[in-house]
Amino acid sequence: MKKDKILIIEDDKKIARVLSMELEYEGYEIAAEYTGSKGLERITQENWDIVLLDVMLPELSGLEVLRRVRNANNHVPVILLTARDSIPDKVAGLDLGANDYITKPFQIEELLARIRAVLRVASVLEKKEQKKIFTIEDLEVHVQSYRAFRNGIELELTPREFELLVYLLENKNIVVSREQILNQVWGYHFEADTNIVDVYIRYVRKKVDYPFDRPIIQTVRGIGYIIKDSSV
**Chain segment 25-72, per-residue pLDDT in tens:** 999 999 999 999 999 999 999 999 999 999 999 999 999 999 999 988
CATH T-level fold of 129-227: Arc Repressor Mutant, subunit A (1.10.10)
pLDDT in tens, 8-26: 999 999 999 999 999 999 9
Question: In whole angstroms, what is the distance from residue 73 CA to residue 80 CA?
Answer: 18
Confidence of residue 94 (pLDDT cuts 50, 70, 90): confident
Question: In whole angstroms, what is the distance from residue 32 CA to residue 85 CA?
Answer: 25
Q: Which CATH code, of 3.40.50.200, 3.40.50.2000, 3.40.50.1000, 3.40.50.2300, is assigned to 5-127?
A: 3.40.50.2300
Residues 177-201 have a mean pLDDT of: 79
Say what the pTM is: 0.65
C-beta separation of 66 from 78 below 8 A = yes
